[in-house]
Structure 1
Amino acid sequence: MRFQNTYKTIITVVICAILLLAGCGKNNTDKETKEQPKEVTVTDAMGKVTIPANPKRILAPYMEDSLVALGVKPAAQWSIGTTVLDYLQSDLKDVPTIGWDLPLEQTIKAKPDFIIFSSAGAIQNGNYEQYKKVAPTYVFKDEEGSDWRKQLQVMGQLLGKEKEAKNALADYDEKAKQASKKIKEAIGDETAAIIWVAGDQFYLFENTRFAANVLYGDLGVAQPQMIQTLPAAEATWKPMSLEALSKLDADHIFLVSKPGETGLETLKNSSVWKGIPAVQKGNVYHMEDPSHWTISGVMANSLTMDKIVDSLTK
């Protein structure tokens, strides 16, 4: 009798153990099933598009900033000839280039499983239907693609990286908050401006143009009177004459250009340039990588912020 009771006890324990393991296995299987990414259908600028689950080879020309911020390496990176986004090359140095207009032959060769465009206007030659045959294609709505914050958030949603997008924006905002305090302590209400020298042309950034959003918006640096009276930014901006720049009443100037631009020599030899307040005070900071000053994105803006803080607080 004692043997039978012991035997029953052993059998009961074994059965319970089996049921427990089976339950754990089922729970793990259910959990894994729930966590597996799935295809989703969303509405973009062109209509309905089904986003592939966990895409690996992504083409998002001129939006590589958002991809890098999310920890994603694209299948190929935007380029015009040999020109690429220089400020991202530490992350993209091994990534092949693709033409800025995404030629179909190059697109097919890149073997993407997901293509993303910043707007309908970014699709060249009416090739939308052809791109769709290569891979699922998402086209940002204008209000999403033109705002770097929204672009990053939507990109995070498309790629299942909402948390990474949220964290990147939170980190950026905290960085801007601290940087703004440092600059305020260093220069108070002094003003600053950004000039881009390309060839022999001079472009003065309006208060909402690319890096100016960082300078005036995120960091709260005061705008010179000349900047305040400039027309609102247009799709195509116009170069400014040296004579017009003589009215630039800025205490500090960020001079953005690649080394060797002919316009730099023009400024060096110009009495007009030498008469500008910031030049007279020795407050001109030459930035030799225009790539992150002339685009908007969390990576670009963060690097621009570093350069501004280093210059104004040294």
Structure 2
Amino acid sequence: MVKRVRRFIWTAVLILVLTVLAACGTDNHAADNGVVPSANTGAVAAASSMPADAGSSTPAEAATRTVAGEFGDVEIPVNPQRIAGIYVEDYLKALGITPVVQWYHPSWGKQDYLNLDVPEFDVSGSIEALLEKDPDLIILDGGADAAKVEQYSKVAPTYRLPEQVLQDSRQMLTAIADALGVPEKAEVALAEYDQKVEDGKAKLQQALGQEKVAVIRLNVADKTFALFGVKNRYTGVIYDQFGLTPIPMAAEMTDYQAIISEEVIPELEADHIIVFPDHGGWDTAENQEAVQVLAGPLWKNLPAVKKGNIYKMERSHWQSGAITANAMKLDDLLEAMVK
């Protein structure tokens, strides 16, 4: 009886030793064949070296790639599923992507024209509020400096768009699509947009010729106006893409906008005036006192007003320079100016 027990024990020990030796041989063979994770794709490489029947795998979302942001290279997920695009939700929607939040500011509101059914993220509050939304990628535009990017990076990998693309909505769409690994979606969206612009530009030029256009914003709180120049990222598109002719003052501006009083409006000598409030809508209760300025005698005597060439626009997409908003601006202009 004792002999049989001893034989069983020695047999078990022998099997254990053989198993350990076999494992060591397998590891050495893998190392000899260069199966070593790289710095950027460690999780993926390690997963690919595992046997198919190992019983566990690494999802594709765990892989990362390097993109060049404004403040250096950033490691971002290859296949992000939960994207927070602060101020760039328009571009995500154009690419068929729904963000996990939509930016909101108590003084500015949000981009209502996107009709997004997602939670709001108050950009004036704590960035930590994003944590509960669990984004795996955050995309920022030019409103974020290096310090702000660092704060967002504590929540999730953060890609801040390079400064050189911010002036052109086409380039912004392309940069975002490239970062997300879907360049083909940007190509389709841009082809449709460019065709729309080409057709619309021809109609506008035929209707207006060289008649001069001014874009102004009614600042409700102090009843002043902001004249938008040709370099304005919100509305410069109507000049450089849609072919409209700016008034001289707007054409000469190097700043995005200039605050002017009501008395300056006649000096603009605009044939057409586009105007929108800085917050809320034309029917918003708190805007009504400021809106009455447009009904005063000074405005009524403007040549543009007498000709019916003043256009009250919805501020949400007119205060965005993104690709969807720009297409909507073109629709507004065609409806208002082309008879």
TM-score w.r.t. length of structure 2: 0.73
SS of corresponding position for 1:212: coil
Q: Counterparts of 1:59-208 in structure 2 under 5 Å? A: 59-81=84-106, 83-89=109-115, 92=116, 94-101=117-124, 103-119=126-142, 122-123=144-145, 126=147, 128-199=149-220, 200-208=223-231
- Number of the residue aligned with 1:22: none
Tell me the distance in 1 between the aligned counterparts of 2:319 and 2:239.
15
Provide the rounded CA distance (Å) in 1 between the counterparts of 2:203 and 2:303. 23
Q: Which structure would you say has the larger Rg?
A: 2
Q: CA deviation at 1:130?
A: 4.7
Query: How far apart, in 1, do the equivalents of 2:331 and 2:148 lie?
Result: 40
In the TM superposition, residue 156 of structure 1 has moved relative to its aligned partner by 0.2
Residues 91 and 176 in structure 2, CA contact (< 8 A), matched pair in contact too: yes
Identity of aligned residues (%): 35
Taking the aligned partners of 1:224 and 1:46, their CA distance within structure 2 comes to: 37
- Rounded to whole Å, the distance in 2 between the matches of 1:151 and 1:255 is 26
Count, aligned residues: 269
Change (3 A) 1:150 1:58: same
Please identify runs of 4+ aligned residues in structure 1 that moved more than 6 A. Answer: none
3-state SS, counterpart of residue 247 of structure 1: helix
RMSD across aligned positions (CA)? 2.1
Aligned to 1:274: 300
List gaps (5 residues or longer) in structure 1.
Answer: 1-35
Quick one: which of 281, 284, 300 aligns to 2:325? 300
Amino acid at match of 1:217: D
Deviations along 1:147-203, whole A, 9 cap, x unmatched? 322221110011121011122122111111101111122222222221211201211
Matched residues in 2 for 1:157 and 1:101: separation? 29
Shift of 1:145: 3.5
The residue that corresponds to 2:71 in the other structure is 46
How far apart in 2 are the matches of 1:141 and 1:265?
Answer: 42
Indicate the SS of the match to 1:239: strand
Residue 217 (structure 1) aligns with: 240
The answer to whether the aligner puts 1:252 opposite 2:252 as a matched pair is: no
Name 1:311's counterpart in structure 2. Answer: 336
Residue 102 of structure 1 and its aligned partner are, at CA, apart by 6.5
Give, in angstroms, the shift of residue 256 of structure 1: 1.4
Compared CA separation, residues 115 and 313, structure 1 to 2 (3 A): same
Structure 1: which amino acid aligns with 2:169?
Answer: W
After superposition, give the CA deviation of every residue in 1:30-68 in whole Å (9 maximum; x if it has no partner): xxxxxx785212232232321202111111111111111
1:286 and 2:312 equivalent?
Answer: yes
Pair 1:80–1:49, CA change in 2 (3 A): same
Asked if the contact 1:214–1:304 (Cα under 8 Å) also holds between the matched residues in 2, the reply is no
Whether contact under 8 Å (1:156, 1:164) holds in the other structure is yes
The question of whether the paired residues in 2 share the 8 Å contact of 1:59 and 1:112 is answered with: yes
Partner of 2:236, secondary structure, is helix
Higher-RCO chain (CA-CA 8 Å, sequence separation at least 6): 1
Which whole-Å CA distance do the structure 2 matches of 1:130 and 1:178 have between them? 44
Q: For the residues of structure 2 that align with 1:264 and 1:131, how far apart are their CA atoms?
A: 38
